[in-house]
Amino acid sequence: MWIKDSTEVAPQTLQDGIRIRWLITDKDGAPNFAMRVIEIDPGVTFPPHTHPYEHEIYVLEGRGVLTNPEGDVGIMEPGKFVFVEPSAPHGYRNIGEETWRFICIIPLQK
Amino acid sequence: MWIKDSTEVAPQTLQDGIRIRWLITDKDGAPNFAMRVIEIDPGVTFPPHTHPYEHEIYVLEGRGVLTNPEGDVGIMEPGKFVFVEPSAPHGYRNIGEETWRFICIIPLQK
């Protein structure tokens, strides 16, 4: 059982202006799911994509839009949470003036 | 794929001064894990307890102490995250002046 600060975990760049911090993973002994923080800079878009696993998301800071290939789905801001079903196309666009940060949980591969 | 606000989910009382909001569960079609928010009022203690599944925790607001039967483990405040291994005894004590709120993810029973 341990406590860490999210700034202790180095961010990895996913694309220009988008970073991920892998907070809790199988390397920590997590048996079932991984906790990450996604950080998207102002004005940056993460295009819609799919994968066969779900997301459970909770917004920490900033303001952005959840998107799918048809357009905008809704606003994601602090206190909002999101469920993305397995294989649902989803993307993100920061529409605020600060870095948009949200927790994103995924299942671990077994 | 959907977005909700955490205040839309009614809190359930766990004990006096401690509430839980089940944000995303199997009832939403979540296949692997559930997202909850735990809320602990100032001065309130959640005594150490155990269960056979892990917690992955991220602190949203407030300030408290993670405990085990031997004593205090460390401070949990915004930006901190916690891994509680399956069967590890753990408890919580709010030492701040506001409600302490953290996300707590658990695996779903299969």
Predicted confidence at residue B106, as pLDDT, reads 98
**B72 in reach of chain A (CB within 8 A):** no
Q: How far away is chain B from the Cα of A12, in angstroms, using its nearest Cα?
A: 18
Q: What is the pLDDT of residue A109?
A: 78
How many beta-carbon contacts under 8 Å exist across A and B?
121
**Contact state of B3 with A32 under an 8 Å Cβ cutoff:** no
pLDDT for the residue B55: 98
Whether B90 contacts chain A with CB within 8 A? yes
For chain B, the structural domain boundaries read: 11-107
Does the pLDDT of residue B87 top 90, yes or no?
yes
Q: How far apart are CA A46 and CA A102, in angstroms?
A: 14
Q: What are the E-state strand segments in B50-107?
A: 55-61, 64-68, 71-76, 80-84, 90-94, 100-107
pLDDT at res. B109 = 78
- Per-residue pLDDT at B110: 61
Would you say B64 and B98 are in contact if contact means Cβ atoms under 8 Å apart?
no
Is the dihedral angle over the CA atoms A80, A84, A88, A89 positive or is it negative? Answer: positive
Q: What percentage of chain B reaches a pLDDT higher than 90?
A: 98
Predicted TM-score (pTM) of the model is 0.97
Asked if B20 has any chain A CB less than 8 Å from its own CB, the reply is no
**Is B56 a residue whose pLDDT tops 70?**
yes
- pLDDT the model gives residue B16: 98
Q: Tell me which architecture the domain covering B11-107 has in CATH.
A: Sandwich (2.60)
Q: What is the pLDDT of residue A110?
A: 61
Q: State the Cα angle at A51 between A67 and A82, rounded to 5°.
A: 45
Question: Given CB atoms, is A95 within the 8 Å cutoff of chain B?
Answer: no
At residue B94, the pLDDT reads 98
pLDDT tens per residue across all 110 residues of chain A: 999 999 999 999 999 999 999 999 999 999 999 999 999 999 999 999 999 999 999 999 999 999 999 999 999 999 999 999 999 999 999 999 999 999 999 999 76
